[in-house]
Amino acid sequence: MIAPATPVNEFKRMKALHGLELLDTAQEPDFDYITKLAAYICNTPVALVTLVDEDRQWFKSKVGFAPCETSRDSSFCAHAILTPNEIFEIPDATKDLRFVNNPLTKGDSPVIFYAGIPLRTKNRMAVGSLCVIDHKPNKLNQEQREALITLGKQVERLFELRSVNAKLRAAKENLTKHNSLLQDFAGTVSHDLKMPLANLILTSDILKKKYNDEIDEKGKNYLSYLKKSSLSMSKYITNILTHYESTAYDKDDVHEFMLNDMLEDLVDLLNINYECDVHFPENNIELHCNRSALDQIFLNLIGNSLKYNDKKHTVIDIKATQTSKHFEFSIRDNGRGIEEDKVDSIFTLFSTVGHLDKNGERGHGIGLSTVQKLVNNLGGTIKVKSELGKFTEFVFTIAR
């Protein structure tokens, strides 16, 4: 047996590994989901997500393998991280000098076949591997190799999400005295939405690759739309989380974009599947502002127009004008309207009109309060006009 060499960047690699804060943590469904897929696709009894520590390799996720860790000297994965840009594959460990007499190749469930794709952090440090193992000689075909690489990238995305969550936790400590509600929102978004979206993206990739010859063109289009929508939503959530990392609104975080391009992205994101017309402004103006904040404002207001509309055919009219100091927008729908005695309180946190949406669910009174705060942060104001049974119109401005 030949012990694995130490990478030349070991100090930086260990710093990156510990920065993930994953060692000795509980198993998580999002990692387990990937190892189960890896074992299934590669047709092996064992699949692992490993992290190579100073003197051990520890398993963040495991399928078909009892130990929680093994020594680094006997680790196959410690060899794998030495070639961080390619799959490390051992068809038969009993015939490879590096693993002859390796204790892992002995016993009732020996490691005879091994294939692992190194897992790298955002700064390209190889911290472990996603590997599959068999108790007899084996070899991956090309399709299995490509699938293992795809699954490895998905694990790396989960690593990045952990880093984002770590930054959010640090930001939360500073935000507590200012806005505890904002902390809960950011935590909920990152955990409850990003992880399932990552799994949707992964599943659509695997299905398209594995069953490409069996799926008709219509099915492929559905899978492409699923992935496109998931990626779009994932990007949107990432922008929102980035926006909320600071305690104060960053007025220097300005982007240049066309209003109607943004509106088209948001309408695609909403995936409207019933009779509805959304009329964009005739004058497609160029905006200079924080796009993630404006995204959320429009997404919330348009979403409300859709959810709470009681007409058979929903109509939403969006208009925009500009002055030397402000951009002004209006969003008007043909919905049920708001009672006069409730108009003044709709921007109050946790205050609701009391209407049920199209799914029979009642709002929580958070969205419009968040909209007002974002508008204020963008240097503007917001007001509402409504006539019961006929329309509701929100008019807001933001500074140029």
Residue 250 in any domain: the answer is no
Strands 276-279 and 314-322: parallel
pLDDT of amino acid 285: 92
pLDDT of amino acid 237: 67
Same domain, 260 and 225: no
Q: Is 233 helix (H, G, I), strand (E, B) or coil?
A: helix
Same domain, 305 and 369: yes
Same domain, 29 and 151: yes
Query: CB–CB of 373/293 below 8 Å?
Result: no
Same domain, 141 and 189: no
Same domain, 127 and 223: no
Query: CB–CB of 120/126 below 8 Å?
Result: yes
Domain boundary among 213, 243, 273: 243
Residue 3 in any domain: the answer is no
Closest to 367 in 3D by CA, of 295, 301, 291: 301
Same domain, 44 and 114: yes
Q: How far apart are the first and last CA of the chain?
A: 68
**Domain ranges, residue 231:** 164-243
Domain boundary among 186, 215, 243: 243
Question: What would you measure as the largest C-alpha separation in the chain, in angstroms?
Answer: 82
Same domain, 144 and 229: no
Total of domains in the chain: 3
Residue 2 in any domain: the answer is no
Closest to 126 in 3D by CA, of 94, 86, 93: 86
Give CA–CA dist 163/156, Å, rounded: 11
Same domain, 360 and 290: yes
Helix and strand tally (H, E) in the chain? 11, 13
Residue 103 in any domain: the answer is yes
Same domain, 16 and 144: yes
pLDDT of amino acid 245: 46
Q: Which residue numbers in the chain have pLDDT < 70?
A: 175-192, 194, 232, 235-252, 273, 349-350, 354, 356-364
